[in-house]
Amino acid sequence: MKKIGALILLTVMILAVFSGCSNTATVSVASATYQPLINNYGEQLPQYLDKQYYFDDKPISIQESNFYFINAYLDLSTYAMYGYFPANAKGYLDLSAACTEPGYATYGDYFIEYAENSLESTCILLSRAEAEGVTVTDEIKATIDTSLNDMKTNYAAPAGKTLDDYLQAYYGPGNTEAAFRTILERYYLADAYSKVYCENYVFSDEEKFVPYLRYALFYAPETSDQATKDKALETATAMKNACSTIDDLTGLAQNAQQAGTVYDQGDILVPRGRMVPKFEEWAYEEGRTVGELDIIYAPEYGYFVVGYLGTQEQEKADLDQIALQKLSQSLLDEINAGTHNLHSTDVKVSSMTTTDVLIVVFFTLAGVAIAAVIVILIVNAMKKNKDTGSRGKSSSKNSSKPSNSKNKPADKPKSSKKRYEEDDEDDEEEYDEDEDEDEDDE
């Protein structure tokens, strides 16, 4: 196993931060040092923190493991805030609740595996970064400087706190500015490696080129009455019959949309896994010829007049997502193969042997936004949105596209692939401190 020097935190730092505390002791939720964290998140979370983890027999700093556990808690709590998971009195995930996901007794068990996968995935990325000579650049350091200064000026100071106190209120005892800077450097380094991986990924023709369709939708989902369905099929058939070539479909569909007969129309790329099944099945059926026209029924939407335009190279953003999915799968393969060893002397590390393991990669090719790192900013904004009934942007036109995504928060997290595909267009939300800033005073 490779030695990961960056994973070793000086013993003197650990002793200075946690003097008098045993690594194996369960933190009492009544501890005064945890009171700001309890004020923010409730009493359940601290018992899952301060566990000494090792990756390939090298210790991971307790502050770093706490960072990933807290980020995982906040990540899962977004689902609790929208009602997908049970919530505690503060609106965060109720870790004591019985878990409805197969293989977990409580949501605390589910949370542990989610957090451990996040931590191990990052360690594997860092291991690869070291092996391939990817390092923390001056640009990364400058980004971190800016982020920390912004936190100090815009969040800590207005709350009457030092940055050290502010960070510890959200990421636990010992997460001072110096410790947090080290964590962010490693976090951004893992992101830098993910960019290198994606930039160097060689796409197959099947990945790069996908079917390109022209379509017109006559809205009549399976919940419609039979008369509506019959009328939609009749008008779809009339439009198809009126087309002498596929080029005619555009003008006819545009005019019909203006008249209100066609619900939506246009040209669209069809990557695998992104569209409703019937739409994708037709696009990938063997023997498709350019210019071919047909009518298909997708129960989610209704009748489509579809035309095959051939294949076309995907947009860079879509190719980036494929590369990120491959990266995630490669991490999962290493975990399942037992290539590395993540373990703790304090808790039983979850068995990670199934293909449905909760692999989590937090990185995007656009760089890691600090709002994604300081995830509390997004979580509190989402809490505000739920209270006011807002769920972000949606429109009837957007919802009518034959896409597989729904106008709701991402489905329950099962794999990084699902998360990548549904998080692409999430809007960054601004932080509202009114609620928690009054709570995190000691």
Range in 11-25, 193-207, 342-356 the model is least confident about = 11-25
**262-296 pLDDT tens trace:** 999 999 999 988 899 999 999 999 999 999 999 99
Q: Is 21 left (phi over 0), alpha (psi -120 to 50) or beta?
A: beta
Q: What is the pLDDT of residue 355?
A: 32
**Predicted pLDDT of residue 31:** 54
Cα-based angle 182, 188, 191 (whole degrees, multiple of 5): 150
Q: Rounded distance, CA 33 to CA 423, Å?
A: 35
Euclidean distance between CA atoms 274 and 280, whole angstroms: 8
Max CA distance (Å), the chain: 83
Global pTM reads 0.67
**Which residues fall within 8 angstroms of residue 401, CB to CB, at 6 or more apart?**
264, 268
- Is it the case that residue 112 has pLDDT exceeding 70? yes
Residue type, 230: D
The predicted-structure confidence for 351-364, as pLDDT tens digits, reads as follows 433 333 333 444 43
* Cα 3 from Cα 130, distance rounded (Å): 9
Q: What is the pLDDT of residues 146-176, one digit of tens each?
A: 999 999 999 999 999 999 999 999 999 999 9
Which of 80-94, 229-243, 407-421, 423-437 is predicted least confidently?
Answer: 407-421
Lowest mean pLDDT among 176-180, 254-258, 271-275, 407-411: 407-411
- Coil, strand or helix: which one is 104? coil
Least confident of 1-10, 123-132, 136-145: 1-10
pLDDT score, position 314: 93
**Which one has a higher pLDDT value, 59 or 405?**
59
SS3 content of the chain, % helix, strand, coil (to 5): 50, 10, 40
Name the CATH topology of 205-314.
Chitinase A; domain 3 (3.10.50)
Q: Domain residues of the chain, as ranges? A: 5-200+320-437, 205-314
Q: Which of 216, 226, 405 is nearest to 300 (CA)?
A: 405
Residue 415 has pLDDT above 80, yes or no: no
